Amino acid sequence: MFSKRPRLLPALALLLLCAGGCALDTGDGSRFAPEKNPSLSQFYAGRFSLGAAVEPAQLETAEGKLLGWHFNSLVAENAMKPLELQPAEGRFDFSGADRIVAFAQRHGMKVRGHTLLWHERTPEWFWQGADGRPASRRLLLERLRAHIHATVGRYRGRVYAWDVVNEVIDPAQKNCLRDDNWFQRVGPDYIDWAFRFAHDADPSARLFVNDFETTNLDKRECLLWVVKGLRERGVPVHGVGHQMHISIDSPGAREIDETLGKFAALGVENQITELDISFYRSPGQRLPGSESELLARQGARYEELFRVFLAHADVTAVTFWGISDANTWLVRGRFAGRGDKPLPFDADQQPKPAYWGVLRALSISGVAMSKPAQK
Ligand code: GLA
């Protein structure tokens, strides 16, 4: 357990000293002491919660220590997806998710739940009916209800927000909805049902539609239209999750600002749910410049982004998609070997210019620096 008692004066002095970026820790795992640097979430405590995505195996490592010190919110990177939670019908495996929730409780952190419905990582059995035939609409809705009730019910009161549906928008479709199994086999109302089931299971949970590239104009119009429709039908949707897997050079701060404003005007909460800033504009296109130039630009970009978030009272949480550059989806699988470094802490869990950029945004905006930080 780490104490996060406010230490604003030393933190301010450190921020000034390290304005250009510095790493104070030794990198020696046994002596790893993240508390030498100001806790990000402590700094932002007057404004919004700051979280990170985590796998259960990271909890007891140096990254877990970093997590406990800098963040006050967690999300499971994979452990709460349908395939992980219910690999066979009626056989739930909550072991990984339970460890994450228990860690959060021990450290006084909030938990975001991710995700109840997605076109990926849904087990094959979900789609199969009797005698090898495709599952009917009725069976699919019953399975969806059972999955959501078991999952949201288990963490009722411990997971404060759920990404109920993930990546359901496709602006290339006439009705704006992704043409996936859910849409084809159930019809467009599967989204309404998912939200209603989640709300039944925990009426106090905040319920989100989560998606990527929400700043893309066509996609944004679609998402606005879908969310508006849900609200008009009385479906309990409370917010929009903007994944925000972005690059150092796009989308622009103005587009992000405008996007947040449009959803706020609809009366929904905005959360940034999967933030990382890549050195790549597209998978094969690395931005020009040396590594130290890219790190500095990334620091400025994080600062710019957080200033936009701070300008929106409706932004209630910002979650990074990972803890440090040692372990993120952008250095694994098809992205392995590209040398991407998208997060505020480097592969040795040391602060990068990105970390100082996040802190600088708050000191410059003056929003929460003057308020006593509270855990
Ligand atoms: C999407 C999903 C996340 C994660 C990332 C990349 O954004 O919402 O759960 O899988 O892709 O790993």
Q: What is the pLDDT of residues 332-357, one digit of tens each?
A: 999 999 999 999 999 999 999 999 99
pLDDT tens column, 189-200: 999 999 999 999
**Ligand 1 atom 4, closest CA:** 77
At residue 131 the predicted structure's pLDDT band, cuts being 50, 70 and 90, is confident
User: Nearest CA to 264 among 243, 244, 239?
Assistant: 239
User: Nearest CA to 340 among 272, 274, 276, 244?
Assistant: 276
**Ligand 1 atom 5, closest CA:** 329
Q: Which residues line ligand 1 (CB under 6 A)?
A: 114, 166, 212, 243, 274, 329
Distance 53 CA to ligand 1 centre (A): 10
At residue 26 the predicted structure's pLDDT band, cuts being 50, 70 and 90, is very low
Residue 15's pLDDT is what?
Answer: 55
Q: Which of 210, 240, 244, 274 to mutate to test the pocket of ligand 1 (most atoms within 8 A of CB)?
A: 274
Q: First CA to last CA across the chain, in angstroms?
A: 13
Domains of the chain: 10-17+34-364 (3.20.20.80)
Distance 273 CA to ligand 1 centre (A): 10
Q: Give me the half-sphere count of Cα atoms (radius 13 Å) on the Cβ side of residue 358.
A: 25
Question: Mind telling me the catalytic residues?
Answer: 167, 274
Buried b (16+ CB within 10 A) or exposed e, 18-39: beebebebeeeeeebebbebbb
pLDDT tens column, 199-248: 999 999 999 999 999 999 999 999 999 999 999 999 999 999 999 999 99
Could you identify the atom of ligand 1 that is nearest to the CA of residue 81? Answer: 9
DSSP conformational letter for 354 = H
pTM of the model: 0.91
Amino acid at 216: N
Q: Are 329 and 321 in contact (CB under 8 A)?
A: yes
pLDDT tops 90 at residue 7: no
Distance 218 CA to ligand 1 centre (A): 21
Calculate the alpha carbon distances from 121 to 86, 146, 182, 285 in Å.
10, 17, 13, 28
pLDDT tops 80 at residue 368: no
Distance 130 CA to ligand 1 centre (A): 31
DSSP conformational letter for 58 = G
**Ligand 1 atom 12, closest CA:** 329
DSSP conformational letter for 46 = T
Mean pLDDT for the chain overall: 91
